[in-house]
Amino acid sequence: MCGIVGYIGKRQAYDVLIKGLKRLEYRGYDSAGIALLSDNNLNVYKTKGKVSDLEAFAQGKDIGGTMGIAHTRWATHGEPNQVNAHPHYSQSERIALIHNGIIENYSELKEGLLMHGFTFQSQTDTEVLVQLIEYVKNEHAVDLATAVQLALNEVVGAYAIAVIDLDNPDVIVAARKGSPLIIGIGDDEYFLASDATPIVEYTNKVIYLDEEEIASLDLINGLHVKTISNVEKTPQIKQLEMTISQLEKSGYPHFMLKEIFEQPRTLTDCMRGRVNISENNISIAGIIDHKDKFLNAKRIIISACGTSWHAGLIGKYVIEEFTRIPVEVEYSSEFRYRNPVIDRDDVVMVISQSGETADTLAAAQLAKSKGAFLFGICNVVGSSIARTTHAGCYTHVGPEIGVASTKAFTAQVTVLTMIALVLGKEKGTISEEMYLSILKEMSRIPEKIISILKQDNLIAELSKIFTYAQHFIYLGRGFNYPVALEGALKLKEISYIHAEGYPAAEMKHGPIALISQEMPVVVIAPMGGVVYDKVVSNIQEVKARKGKIIAVVSENDRTVREMADHVITIPETDECLYPILTSIPLQLLAYHIAVIKGCDVDQPRNLAKSVTVE
Ligand code: F6R
């Protein structure tokens, strides 16, 4: 959480930084701030609220300068107000710092600094760090980079920081541990940011800073990277693959809607070079290259958070179905702290859109340390999780900016399904006929999504009926049980309506007590498979208690159509592929209800896109 951006070069820093903050706003939007260095002045402007509030606040003020740093905050320590906003000044107001992460030993450090006469304005852990850097710099009479390095040796916690100093006006010092940081290299200019989105329009040459590395972005001496133990490193320059058009709304009112509508293309991209219909083959390099690890695995453990965890649960259903390899699905936040049993014959799969989720990263590191083979499914290329794993595959859906995950989810499910089919074929646990039939169906998924998206207006109309609701229940079974969980999560996170997802048959073990004529119940009931008839019975149970049924059904369905109050149809497909289709109307339903309720769909309250704190 929190977005950080920095610039040093020949452009006006303010413009670069504000634009960069807008791109990073999905990471946090409680408060925003900027520090600009020019003509021996270090100006800091900050305010509660969004980047647009910061722009209004900075109007008429001195915003000149060709170097600066800026921050958009998701509050951890201290309420989101102006004082706690970043950047933070040091005591002398000669150093300013921005930070993404948590300094765990901040109160201990603060006590020491108080004894040396430092005073504090804010309740943040970050202010402690900037004061510590100033203290070390003066005490040891060292330059800024050395002061940062020495200070970070005292710090326990996670950070991506950027620091500027009136005494070192040609350099930005940046460092990371546990939070992401990317440096962009232009002609006589440098950029830094939490992800590549603020950088892509200026340069495609980037360096992904590694754990415990410190970079000096120095206009006179060039770029230097060292570790916090003071070992010089040679930075590896990588090419960015992102394009600027991927970062714009392209006429859609919200990124979320754009991303929902992008899914026919993103899933085509995700399957490109993997699902080969002319050769009747599915291939994933990261799996094929390490197939022995998978084929000899006693079990696969999937670790993820939130929506990615829901994708993992679908992964369990498909991988077990087609490979007969047992799969366990873990919440990363639990897995990392409960001393799990992991051994060398296990394959641990981590799933993360951002590739930066702190709990999933820690789960990955834990699994690796115990000798498991670690496989990643990430969207963001070069992200921390992608770089931690032994092997992996990218989902290739482009930047996902809406805080509620949509296109990344369907791609994660697609990748997991492809993995199940590749392994099933290698193991001989799937029949040739079944393999070919699913392969063919997979290639049709994009066109089937196009037909679902045509019902957008119908779903928007339907949504108007349900804005009264305080609660929703989502029911599904088999492959579609995790879709019920995901549908409920989408609704609650963007519309603030309480929603719960259940395996449909679990209703009668408690939740059925909640059903009344006020309660909308979304039932995911596509035809096919052994559970369809069972879901029909579960719908009867809800109807008998006057619940309002919104059913997601196959186009040819007659039975559920007659029972439901409202129906959304999806084209037929293979049973294991339904989650990719059934999740789309639920994304649209959540989106439209939230829009009608006037909620901030792309930046829902209290949330941030990339959860880099635990
Ligand atoms: C919900 C959502 C979150 C994320 C979760 C994990 O719409 O986006 O639940 O899925 O924070 O994030 P990643 O996938 O980046 O690890």
Share of the chain above pLDDT 70, in %: 100
Cα 302 to middle of ligand 1, angstroms: 15
Q: Would you say residue 493 has pLDDT above 80?
A: yes
Q: Would you say residue 467 has pLDDT above 90?
A: no
Ligand 1, atom 8: nearest CA belongs to which residue? Answer: 405
Count CB neighbours of 205 within 10 A.
14
The dihedral region occupied by 93, where left means phi > 0, alpha psi between -120 and 50, and beta the remainder, is: left
Closest atom of ligand 1 relative to the 309 alpha carbon: 10
512-521, 524-533, 581-590, range with greatest mean pLDDT: 581-590
Peptide bond into 446 cis (omega under 30): no
Residue 611 pLDDT class (50, 70, 90 cuts): confident
Residue 244 pLDDT class (50, 70, 90 cuts): confident
Q: Would you say residue 533 has pLDDT above 90?
A: no
Size of the chain, expressed as the number of residues it contains: 614
Starting at the earlier edge strand, list the strands of the sheet with 171-177. Answer: 88-89, 95-103, 157-165, 171-177, 213-218, 222-227, 232-233
User: How much is the pLDDT for 30?
Assistant: 87
Indicate the domain borders of the chain.
3-245, 248-452, 455-600
In testing the pocket of ligand 1, which one of 405, 601, 602 has its CB within 8 Å of the most ligand atoms? 405
Q: What whole-number distance in Å separates Cα of residue 512 and Cα of residue 198? A: 48
Cα 611 to middle of ligand 1, angstroms: 8
Share of the chain above pLDDT 90, in %: 85
Residues with CB under 6 A from ligand 1: 305-308, 352-354, 357, 360, 404-405, 489, 493, 610-611
Closest atom of ligand 1 relative to the 403 alpha carbon: 8
Closest atom of ligand 1 relative to the 385 alpha carbon: 16
Q: Would you say residue 481 has pLDDT above 90?
A: yes
| Catalytic center residues | 2, 609
Looking at the domain covering 3-245, what would its CATH class be? alpha beta
Q: Phi and psi of 476, rounded to 5°?
A: -155, 165
- Per-residue pLDDT of 138-177, as tens digits, reads 999 999 999 999 999 999 998 999 999 999 999 999 999 9
Ligand 1, atom 5: nearest CA belongs to which residue? Answer: 306
- Per-residue pLDDT of 125-146, as tens digits, reads 999 999 999 999 999 999 999 9
Cα 326 to middle of ligand 1, angstroms: 25
Cα 259 to middle of ligand 1, angstroms: 15
Nearest-CA neighbor of 565 among 517, 597, 526?
A: 517
Domain 248-452 and domain 455-600 have a common topology: yes
Of 193-207, 385-399, 505-519, give the lowest mean pLDDT range.
505-519
Ligand 1, atom 16: nearest CA belongs to which residue? Answer: 352
Q: Would you say residue 312 has pLDDT above 80?
A: yes
> Can you tell me whether residue 601 is helix, strand or coil?
coil
Average pLDDT (344-361) is 95
In testing the pocket of ligand 1, which one of 331, 611, 612 has its CB within 8 Å of the most ligand atoms? 611
Question: Among 3.40.50.300, 3.40.50.10490, 3.30.1540.10, 4.10.520.10, what is the CATH number of 248-452?
Answer: 3.40.50.10490
User: How much is the pLDDT for 433?
Assistant: 96
Burial class (CB in 10 A: 0-12, 13-18, 19+), 49: middle
Cα 357 to middle of ligand 1, angstroms: 8
| pTM, full prediction | 0.86
Average pLDDT (513-523) is 92
Average pLDDT (323-344) is 95
First to last CA, the chain: 10
Q: Would you say residue 77 has pLDDT above 80?
A: no
Ligand 1, atom 11: nearest CA belongs to which residue? Answer: 306
Cα 359 to middle of ligand 1, angstroms: 11
Average pLDDT, the chain: 94
Residue 534 pLDDT class (50, 70, 90 cuts): confident
Closest atom of ligand 1 relative to the 611 alpha carbon: 11
208 residue type, one letter: Y
Ligand 1, atom 10: nearest CA belongs to which residue? Answer: 307
Average pLDDT (219-244) is 93
Q: What whole-number distance in Å separates Cα of residue 89 and Cα of residue 165? A: 10
Closest atom of ligand 1 relative to the 404 alpha carbon: 7
Average pLDDT (317-336) is 97
In testing the pocket of ligand 1, which one of 260, 303, 307 has its CB within 8 Å of the most ligand atoms? 307
Looking at the domain covering 455-600, what would its CATH class be? alpha beta
Cα 469 to middle of ligand 1, angstroms: 25
Residue 614 pLDDT class (50, 70, 90 cuts): confident
